[in-house]
Amino acid sequence: MRRKEIICLPLVALMILCTLFSASAQSREFKLGKNLESQYEILKALQAKFVDTVNVEKIVATGIDAMLSSLDPYTVFIPSEEQETLEMMTTSSYGGMGSSIRKYPEDSLVTIIEPYYMSPAAKSGLEPGDKITHINGVDVKPFDADKCSKMLRGTPGTELTLNVIKGRSGQKVVIKPVREKIHFPDVTWYGMLNDTTGYIRLSGFTVNGSAQTRSAVVDLKAKGARRMVLDLRNNPGGLLDEAVKTLSIFLPKGTKVVTQKGRDESEQMCYITEETPVDTLMPLMVMVNSSSASSSEIVTGAIQDLDRGFIAGERTYGKGLVQGMAQLPYNGVLKLTIAKYYTPSGRCVQAIDYSNRREDGSVGTIPDSLKREFKTLVKGRSVWDGGGIAPDSTIKDRTYARVVYSLVGNAVIDDFAIQFYKDNDSIASPSEFKVTDDIFNKFVEFASGKEFDFRSASLAKLENVIKDAKTEGLYDGAKEYFDNLKERLTVTKEEAIRNNRETLAHIIGMEIVAKYHYSAGEVEYSVKEDVQLRDALKVFLDLDK
């Protein structure tokens, strides 16, 4: 073969490949254009000929949501009218008066459940149990709670006019709070668990949240803390940068803590700690559970992989994905998954199987075949991928009876706390308040007059078995057995409550304290009765001996 022919063959092959790629790209563009045109024509036909009036905007929104939900649970479209949602995601802030509210069907008024600490609601004198009849002159009775909440929110600096019936006195007053930017702090509460152990409850990773954590660590060290507990239970995550800055508090400057890998080359990133640490040697325990997700898992995974601390609790959620924002026409925003993140050992905490999830969305059982072994970078301990971060020591939280969930879900405990607030001007500090026998007996009396499902889980299951037995024609032959068992499993409403005194007293105390001392007080109170924290602390202290 002549040299000219040898040269020409690769050129021909290259030309063929380019043609194929071009054809492939054109094919994709054609299919996209074809599908978009089909959708447009479908909408035109529906609008012109469908038998009933068609809300095109609603149909399009439904189509967009369905399209994105087929990808993963985290890719969503945020229209311009929901920009407040976007602000809440990134800053944990919104414009409003700062209070949780509820509407009760018996009066259809807006009831203040809990004003937030130093919020316009609190500063203007709104209290738990107060009822709002009008917002800026508009009667609230026709509207649901969501609509009323939107009416209360608005641009910081603008004034609200609220017609209020005071919960304690019944007096009718007009209150005029001025809206502010309401911010939920990432550090809900911090303090000393004992003479030498500091504790920080971290609820998220929003803008400047790491600065709050850094300040808390510094303050706790000044108070004598020689070891630290970072509580990330129920922390859903947030900004990756804030997670890295939080890690910089405990790790040497320049430490690689997370790697991000995406489809686009611009999304390939390696994150290192860039700030001066507060303490790289202090014994550290991180507490997690199945609701610790995303940035919480970044922090937990790095601490574990770098052998910087002890991880206690339960397996984390299993969300190893990074979301980015794409600006769309008409001020819409697309929040989409752009990458996966990897801990320092190289593992991804993303649950491989989306379908294998628990009721709360967290990762379920992971088959050994889907796990890969990795090694921590200092001690060479085995850690695994496949979904979530497995703690170094699994410590279960307290379990709750069915009646407890029913009392919480039906707001019976919250309603009692509001009534308690109406009847009592003050209580002891969060660290000293206790639910006495007298308080609990009053709760039993209060709850016994409320409607809620007080059946035990075993009785509820038995009733389903009886239903199935009747369907299958087996009931008559076992009726005596079923009746006897049902009688043994049936308790009165009061018995169901008293059988769960310890657990219910803990939750009642939390709700009461929150009404007087806000969310920080609620956390401070809950810590002293936290069974999972207590058990984890025993293991942590033994390790430090």
Instruction: Say if residues 318 and 298 touch (Cβ distance below 8 Å).
Output: no
Closest C-alpha among 396, 360, 421, 407 to residue 507 = 407
Per-residue pLDDT, 264: 77
Q: What is the pLDDT of residue 451?
A: 93
- For residue 9, name the pLDDT band (cuts at 50, 70, 90): very low
Round to whole Å and give the CA distance between 348 and 356: 17
178-204 pLDDT, tens digit per residue, is 999 988 899 999 999 999 999 999 999
Residue recorded with tokens 């316009």: 120
Q: Angle at Cα 385 formed by Cα 384 and Cα 390, nearest 5°?
A: 60
Q: Evaluate whether 532 touches 292 at the Cβ level (below 8 Å).
A: no
Helix, coil or strand: residue 377: coil
Residue, of 497 and 475, whose pLDDT is higher: 497
Confidence of residue 14 (pLDDT cuts 50, 70, 90): very low
In the annotation, is 319 catalytic? Answer: yes
Q: Could you tell me the maximum CA-CA distance found in the chain, to the nearest angstrom?
A: 105
Residue 7 has pLDDT above 50, yes or no: no
Residue 242 has a pLDDT of 96
Q: Which of 294, 296, 345, 362 is catalytic?
A: 294
Angle, vertex CA 106, rays to CA 104 and CA 109, nearest 5: 50
The one-letter code for the residue type at 478 is A
Question: 431: pLDDT confidence band, cut at 50, 70 and 90?
Answer: very high
Whole-angstrom Cα distance, residue 499 to residue 503?
Answer: 9
The reported pLDDT for the residue numbered 23 is 55
Residue 340 makes CB contacts below 8 A (sequence gap 6+) with: 260, 261, 262, 320, 321, 322, 348, 350
pLDDT in tens, 494-507: 999 999 999 999 99
Token pair 């060479």 is found at 380
* pLDDT reading at 278 higher than 70: yes
The residue-averaged pLDDT of 315-337 equals 87
**Three-point CA angle 131, 137, 140, nearest 5°:** 45
Q: What is the pLDDT of residue 96?
A: 93
pLDDT band at 103 (very low <50, low <70, confident <90, very high): very high
Residue 29 has pLDDT above 50, yes or no: yes
Taking Cα atoms as reference points, which of 159, 278, 170 lies closest to residue 228? 278
- pLDDT level of residue 87 (50, 70, 90 thresholds): low
Residue 261 sits at φ, ψ, to 5 deg, of -130, 125
Grade residue 354 by pLDDT with cuts at 50, 70 and 90: low
Q: What digits encode the pLDDT tens for the residues 255-271?
A: 999 999 988 777 789 99
pLDDT at 230 over 80: yes
Cβ proximity of 206 and 145 under 8 Å: no
Residue 155 amino acid letter: T
Q: What does the mean pLDDT of the chain come to?
A: 89
Q: What percent of the chain has pLDDT over 90?
A: 67
364 vs 467, which has greater pLDDT? 467
Locate 445 and state its tokens: 């009396």
38 pLDDT tier (thresholds 50, 70, 90): confident
The pLDDT, as a whole number, for residue 11 is 47
pLDDT digits (tens, 9 = 90+) for 197-214: 999 999 999 989 999 999
Q: What is the pLDDT of residue 137?
A: 97
- Residue 13 is classified by DSSP as H
pLDDT digits (tens, 9 = 90+) for 65-75: 888 888 888 88
Residue 284 pLDDT > 50: yes
Q: What is the structure's pLDDT at 371?
A: 77
- Predicted confidence band of residue 64 (pLDDT cuts 50, 70, 90): confident
- 294 in catalytic set: yes
Q: What is the secondary structure of 425-451 as a DSSP string?
A: S----TTT----HHHHHHHHHHHHTS-
Separation of alpha carbons 524 and 509, rounded Å: 11
The residue type of 238 is G
Mean pLDDT within 24-43: 73
Amino acid 361: pLDDT: 61
Give yes or no for residue 15 having a pLDDT over 70.
Answer: no
Write the DSSP string, 315-365: ------EEEEEEE-GGG-EEEEEEEEEE-TTS---S-S-TTSB-TTS-B--
Candidate from 53-67, 344-358, 449-463 with smallest mean pLDDT: 344-358
pLDDT over threshold 50, residue 1: no
Active-site position among 130, 305, 385, 530 = 305
Mean pLDDT, residues 28-44 taken together: 77
Residue scoring higher pLDDT (417 or 386): 417
What pLDDT score does 231 carry?
A: 98
Find the mean pLDDT for residues 397-413. Answer: 94
Mean predicted confidence (pLDDT) in 336-363: 77
Asked if pLDDT for residue 247 goes beyond 70, the answer is yes
Among the listed residues 103, 319, 422, 515, the single catalytic one is 319
Residue-wise pLDDT for 378-392, tens only, equals 999 999 887 889 999
pLDDT above 70 coverage of the chain, percent: 89
Judged against a pLDDT cut of 70, whether residue 2 lies above it is answered with no
pLDDT band at 46 (very low <50, low <70, confident <90, very high): confident
pLDDT at 63: 86
* Res 86 pLDDT > 70: no
Question: What does the DSSP 8-state code read for residue 205?
Answer: B
Q: Which residue has the higher pLDDT, 13 or 135?
A: 135
Contacts of 44 (CB under 8 A, 6+ apart): none
What is the average pLDDT across 70-84? 80
Q: Is residue 83 pLDDT above 80, yes or no?
A: no
